[in-house]
Amino acid sequence: MPERQQKSWWRNPATITLLVAIIAAVPPITTGVQAFFQSRNQLELEKSKQLHEMRQKYLDRILSDVANRRVLEFLVAVEDDQRLKSWAQKELDSTERRIKSKADLYKETIRVVAALANQDKPIDANSTDYAKFWSLYNEELLPVESRDVETMMVQVGTELRRLSGGKNPPSAQLQNLSFGLASTMKRELPQEGAP
Protein backbone atom coordinates (compact mmCIF):
# COMPACT_ATOMS: atom_id res chain seq x y z
CA MET A 1 0.00 0.00 0.00
CA PRO A 2 1.48 3.26 -1.09
CA GLU A 3 2.03 5.89 1.50
CA ARG A 4 -0.42 8.73 1.38
CA GLN A 5 0.94 12.16 1.19
CA GLN A 6 -0.84 14.53 3.45
CA LYS A 7 -1.61 17.89 1.94
CA SER A 8 -1.14 20.95 4.09
CA TRP A 9 -4.33 22.97 4.58
CA TRP A 10 -2.90 25.91 2.66
CA ARG A 11 -2.43 23.71 -0.36
CA ASN A 12 -6.02 22.55 -0.37
CA PRO A 13 -7.95 24.72 -2.89
CA ALA A 14 -11.31 24.20 -1.13
CA THR A 15 -9.94 25.38 2.21
CA ILE A 16 -8.26 28.42 0.65
CA THR A 17 -11.45 29.35 -1.20
CA LEU A 18 -13.48 29.07 2.00
CA LEU A 19 -10.94 31.11 3.96
CA VAL A 20 -10.87 33.88 1.32
CA ALA A 21 -14.69 33.97 1.31
CA ILE A 22 -14.78 34.33 5.11
CA ILE A 23 -12.15 37.07 5.08
CA ALA A 24 -13.99 38.89 2.30
CA ALA A 25 -17.26 38.73 4.28
CA VAL A 26 -15.80 40.22 7.51
CA PRO A 27 -15.69 43.93 6.43
CA PRO A 28 -19.31 44.07 5.20
CA ILE A 29 -20.53 42.23 8.31
CA THR A 30 -18.50 44.52 10.57
CA THR A 31 -19.79 47.58 8.71
CA GLY A 32 -23.35 46.30 8.98
CA VAL A 33 -23.08 45.65 12.72
CA GLN A 34 -21.49 49.05 13.28
CA ALA A 35 -24.21 50.77 11.23
CA PHE A 36 -26.89 48.93 13.21
CA PHE A 37 -25.53 50.11 16.56
CA GLN A 38 -24.91 53.62 15.25
CA SER A 39 -28.47 53.93 13.93
CA ARG A 40 -29.86 52.52 17.18
CA ASN A 41 -27.88 55.09 19.19
CA GLN A 42 -29.00 57.86 16.85
CA LEU A 43 -32.61 56.74 17.23
CA GLU A 44 -32.30 56.81 21.04
CA LEU A 45 -30.79 60.30 20.89
CA GLU A 46 -33.60 61.56 18.66
CA LYS A 47 -36.20 59.96 20.90
CA SER A 48 -34.66 61.63 23.94
CA LYS A 49 -34.59 65.02 22.17
CA GLN A 50 -38.18 64.63 21.08
CA LEU A 51 -39.34 63.74 24.60
CA HIS A 52 -37.50 66.75 25.98
CA GLU A 53 -39.05 69.07 23.38
CA MET A 54 -42.52 67.66 24.03
CA ARG A 55 -42.18 68.15 27.78
CA GLN A 56 -40.82 71.65 27.30
CA LYS A 57 -43.54 72.68 24.84
CA TYR A 58 -46.21 71.31 27.13
CA LEU A 59 -44.86 73.18 30.13
CA ASP A 60 -44.27 76.38 28.16
CA ARG A 61 -47.71 76.46 26.57
CA ILE A 62 -49.92 75.07 29.28
CA LEU A 63 -48.43 76.40 32.48
CA SER A 64 -47.38 79.81 33.69
CA ASP A 65 -43.88 79.98 35.12
CA VAL A 66 -45.24 79.81 38.67
CA ALA A 67 -47.37 76.71 37.91
CA ASN A 68 -44.47 75.27 35.91
CA ARG A 69 -42.23 75.68 38.94
CA ARG A 70 -44.70 73.81 41.16
CA VAL A 71 -44.93 70.88 38.74
CA LEU A 72 -41.15 70.70 38.42
CA GLU A 73 -40.66 70.87 42.19
CA PHE A 74 -43.11 67.98 42.52
CA LEU A 75 -41.23 65.94 39.90
CA VAL A 76 -37.90 66.57 41.60
CA ALA A 77 -39.35 65.51 44.95
CA VAL A 78 -41.14 62.29 43.93
CA GLU A 79 -39.67 61.02 40.66
CA ASP A 80 -37.65 57.76 40.76
CA ASP A 81 -36.45 57.91 37.15
CA GLN A 82 -33.07 59.64 37.45
CA ARG A 83 -33.14 60.96 33.88
CA LEU A 84 -36.53 62.58 34.38
CA LYS A 85 -35.54 63.88 37.81
CA SER A 86 -32.34 65.37 36.39
CA TRP A 87 -34.28 66.99 33.54
CA ALA A 88 -36.86 68.39 35.99
CA GLN A 89 -34.10 69.86 38.17
CA LYS A 90 -32.46 71.59 35.18
CA GLU A 91 -35.81 72.94 34.05
CA LEU A 92 -36.59 74.08 37.60
CA ASP A 93 -33.30 76.00 37.74
CA SER A 94 -34.07 77.58 34.37
CA THR A 95 -37.61 78.46 35.47
CA GLU A 96 -36.32 80.06 38.68
CA ARG A 97 -33.97 82.27 36.65
CA ARG A 98 -36.80 83.14 34.25
CA ILE A 99 -39.17 84.00 37.12
CA LYS A 100 -36.56 86.27 38.68
CA SER A 101 -35.90 87.96 35.35
CA LYS A 102 -39.63 88.23 34.64
CA ALA A 103 -40.29 89.64 38.13
CA ASP A 104 -37.61 92.29 37.66
CA LEU A 105 -38.95 93.27 34.23
CA TYR A 106 -42.57 93.33 35.41
CA LYS A 107 -41.67 95.50 38.43
CA GLU A 108 -39.76 97.91 36.19
CA THR A 109 -42.70 98.06 33.75
CA ILE A 110 -45.18 98.72 36.56
CA ARG A 111 -42.95 101.53 37.85
CA VAL A 112 -42.49 103.15 34.42
CA VAL A 113 -46.17 103.03 33.43
CA ALA A 114 -47.27 104.30 36.86
CA ALA A 115 -44.79 107.19 36.62
CA LEU A 116 -46.17 108.13 33.19
CA ALA A 117 -49.82 107.74 34.23
CA ASN A 118 -49.52 109.65 37.51
CA GLN A 119 -47.48 112.64 36.43
CA ASP A 120 -49.13 116.06 36.52
CA LYS A 121 -47.65 117.29 33.25
CA PRO A 122 -48.31 116.22 29.64
CA ILE A 123 -46.69 113.03 28.30
CA ASP A 124 -43.33 113.99 26.81
CA ALA A 125 -42.20 111.70 23.96
CA ASN A 126 -38.59 112.64 24.79
CA SER A 127 -38.75 111.69 28.48
CA THR A 128 -36.71 108.87 29.97
CA ASP A 129 -39.81 106.98 31.18
CA TYR A 130 -41.46 107.23 27.75
CA ALA A 131 -38.32 105.84 26.06
CA LYS A 132 -38.02 103.10 28.70
CA PHE A 133 -41.66 102.05 28.14
CA TRP A 134 -41.01 101.56 24.42
CA SER A 135 -37.79 99.67 25.15
CA LEU A 136 -39.74 97.31 27.43
CA TYR A 137 -42.58 97.09 24.91
CA ASN A 138 -40.45 96.39 21.83
CA GLU A 139 -37.63 94.29 23.29
CA GLU A 140 -37.22 93.47 26.94
CA LEU A 141 -40.66 92.00 27.76
CA LEU A 142 -41.04 89.95 24.57
CA PRO A 143 -39.40 86.75 25.86
CA VAL A 144 -41.32 86.67 29.16
CA GLU A 145 -44.67 88.40 28.81
CA SER A 146 -47.93 86.46 28.77
CA ARG A 147 -50.72 87.09 26.30
CA ASP A 148 -52.67 89.03 28.93
CA VAL A 149 -49.70 91.30 29.64
CA GLU A 150 -49.09 91.74 25.91
CA THR A 151 -52.72 92.83 25.43
CA MET A 152 -52.44 95.34 28.27
CA MET A 153 -49.12 96.68 26.95
CA VAL A 154 -50.66 97.27 23.51
CA GLN A 155 -53.52 99.23 25.12
CA VAL A 156 -51.09 101.30 27.22
CA GLY A 157 -48.89 101.94 24.17
CA THR A 158 -51.89 103.07 22.10
CA GLU A 159 -52.96 105.50 24.85
CA LEU A 160 -49.41 106.81 25.29
CA ARG A 161 -49.09 107.49 21.55
CA ARG A 162 -52.41 109.31 21.61
CA LEU A 163 -51.36 111.47 24.57
CA SER A 164 -47.73 112.17 23.59
CA GLY A 165 -47.14 115.69 22.40
CA GLY A 166 -50.47 116.89 23.80
CA LYS A 167 -51.00 119.72 26.27
CA ASN A 168 -53.08 117.82 28.84
CA PRO A 169 -51.84 115.63 31.71
CA PRO A 170 -52.35 111.85 31.47
CA SER A 171 -55.93 110.69 31.06
CA ALA A 172 -58.02 108.68 33.49
CA GLN A 173 -57.92 105.97 30.81
CA LEU A 174 -54.11 105.75 31.09
CA GLN A 175 -54.35 105.62 34.88
CA ASN A 176 -56.91 102.78 34.66
CA LEU A 177 -54.70 100.93 32.17
CA SER A 178 -51.72 101.41 34.49
CA PHE A 179 -53.68 99.86 37.36
CA GLY A 180 -54.93 97.01 35.12
CA LEU A 181 -51.42 96.28 33.86
CA ALA A 182 -50.00 96.22 37.40
CA SER A 183 -52.79 93.87 38.57
CA THR A 184 -52.26 91.53 35.60
CA MET A 185 -48.50 91.42 36.12
CA LYS A 186 -48.74 90.86 39.88
CA ARG A 187 -51.12 87.91 39.37
CA GLU A 188 -48.44 86.19 37.25
CA LEU A 189 -45.66 86.62 39.77
CA PRO A 190 -45.10 84.54 42.89
CA GLN A 191 -46.23 86.29 46.05
CA GLU A 192 -43.47 87.59 48.29
CA GLY A 193 -42.65 84.97 50.90
CA ALA A 194 -44.62 82.25 49.10
CA PRO A 195 -42.80 78.93 48.50
Instruction: List average pLDDT for each run of 10 residues in the chain, which is 195 residues long.
Output: 61 79 81 82 82 66 66 83 86 76 89 93 91 90 85 93 86 93 87 49
Report whether 88 contacts 72 (CB < 8 A): yes
The rounded distance, in Å, linking the Cα atoms of 45 and 161 is 51
The rounded distance, in Å, linking the Cα atoms of 77 and 98 is 21
Nearest to 185 by CA among 124, 127, 104: 104
Tell me, what DSSP letter sits at residue 136? I
Burial class (CB in 10 A: 0-12, 13-18, 19+), 71: middle
| pLDDT for residue 154 | 94
Burial class (CB in 10 A: 0-12, 13-18, 19+), 119: middle
| pLDDT for residue 95 | 76
| pLDDT for residue 107 | 92
| pLDDT for residue 181 | 94
